């Protein structure tokens, strides 16, 4: 079988589910995954996903309309389950005709699942473990994403390769997309052959030409190596820190100092435990926007996955997707030559 035809067969379930040419989803990155990048991914044959983040319903409606003005291809919307207006956001998506809604950041509430399903959209959910994957399928998820700790932004504790081995052979009722640390077509091919239906990439697209990220942000990605993207450190177990992977900078170092100072203020009686925890949680408020939009990559939060080492230039989105597909096809062609 020709390499291109074999690749099409491997991710046929994913492309049929998403309604696109290539089963390559764009990871939802706050401030980055907006109309321009999302439309560019969909127009190039992939599947763009808007990152709703903390948007209010009216803002999300405007972002969806703006994306629809730039592409007539399918795209999805990523909603955070902890958003206080989750029900309203789901309604906005359904009224705009969004066909795929991704619920992230926690176990989707039953009411949200029913609203998505009753509204005729397809529900995509994230799972960090096999037991939850099975539970999500039973509750109505139409597809799953397993994201390894190599990913950028908020991460779980387990690598993609372990998750893939645990989940892909045993969860076959719905398409399963893989994410975390992916930056090369050969890796995507290997996971497709393990049973994945497609792949989700964020870091490779963050520095794309169509990304509205500040030039400083893109240059930081291009200069970085895989080892520069590290998880945030929790200094004291009494004050939990949700792990976030990003590039080490002065902001990261200052966060460590801030945790130490806040702990000392708590131990001296100056702060209550609740006030200290709140101060630590609020430290990074606005930091992602400072890095992505304002270009302050020294003090802002430069969220990036370990695949950042494979970002070597600012490229058009279509070129990135062609490169990924070409790498997979080339690997298959090389294998055919060996067998021949």
Q: What is the pLDDT of residue 146?
A: 98
According to DSSP, residue 120 is labeled T
State which H helix or E strand residue 243 sits in: none
Which regions of the chain are under pLDDT 50? none
Task: Name the DSSP class of 47.
Answer: B
Q: Where are the domains of the chain?
A: 3-213+312-339, 225-303
Q: At what angle do helices 35-43 and 317-339 cross, to 10 degrees?
A: 40
**pLDDT, tens only, 243-265:** 999 999 999 999 999 999 999 99
Homologous superfamily, domain 3-213+312-339: Aldolase class I (3.20.20.70)
What pLDDT is attached to residue 30? 95
CA atoms of 186 and 45, how far apart (whole Å): 18
Report pLDDT for 337: 85
pLDDT of residue 338: 83
pLDDT for 152 equals 97
pLDDT of residue 285: 85
What's the confidence (pLDDT) of residue 259? 94
- For residue range 93-116, list pLDDT tens digits in order: 999 999 999 999 989 999 999 999
């Amino acid at each position: 079988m020709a390499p291109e035809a074999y690749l099409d067969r491997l991710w046929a379930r994913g492309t049929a589910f998403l309604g696109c040419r290539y089963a390559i989803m764009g990871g939802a990155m706050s401030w980055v995954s907006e109309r321009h990048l999302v439309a560019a991914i969909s127009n190039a044959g992939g599947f763009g996903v808007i990152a709703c983040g903390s948007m209010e319903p009216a803002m999300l409606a405007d972002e969806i309309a703006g994306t629809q003005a730039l592409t007539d291809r399918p795209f999805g919307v990523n909603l955070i389950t902890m958003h206080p207006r989750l029900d309203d956001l789901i309604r906005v998506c359904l009224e705009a005709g969004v066909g795929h809604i991704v619920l992230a950041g926690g176990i989707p509430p039953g009411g949200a699942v029913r609203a998505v399903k009753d509204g005729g959209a397809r529900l995509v959910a994230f799972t960090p473990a096999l037991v939850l994957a099975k539970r999500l399928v039973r509750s109505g998820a139409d597809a799953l994403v397993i994201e390894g700790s190599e990913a950028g932004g908020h991460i779980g504790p387990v690598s993609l390769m372990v998750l893939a081995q645990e989940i892909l052979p045993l969860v076959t009722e719905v398409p399963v997309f893989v994410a975390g640390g992916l930056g090369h077509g050969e890796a995507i091919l290997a996971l497709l052959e393990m049973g994945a239906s497609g792949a989700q990439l964020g870091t490779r697209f963050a520095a794309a030409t169509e990304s509205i990220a500040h030039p400083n942000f893109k240059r930081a990605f291009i200069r970085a190596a895989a080892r520069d993207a590290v998880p945030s450190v929790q200094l004291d177990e009494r004050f939990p820190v949700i792990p976030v992977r990003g590039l080490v900078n002065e902001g990261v170092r200052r966060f460590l100092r801030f945790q130490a100072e806040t702990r000392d203020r708590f131990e001296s009686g100056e702060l209550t435990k609740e006030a200290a925890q709140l101060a630590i949680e609020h430290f990074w408020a606005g930091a992602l926007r400072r890095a992505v939009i304002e270009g302050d990559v020294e003090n802002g939060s430069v969220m990036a996955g370990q695949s950042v080492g494979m970002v070597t230039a600012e490229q058009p989105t279509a070129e990135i997707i062609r490169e990924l597909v070409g790498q997979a096809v080339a690997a298959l062609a090389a294998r055919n030559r060996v067998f021949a």
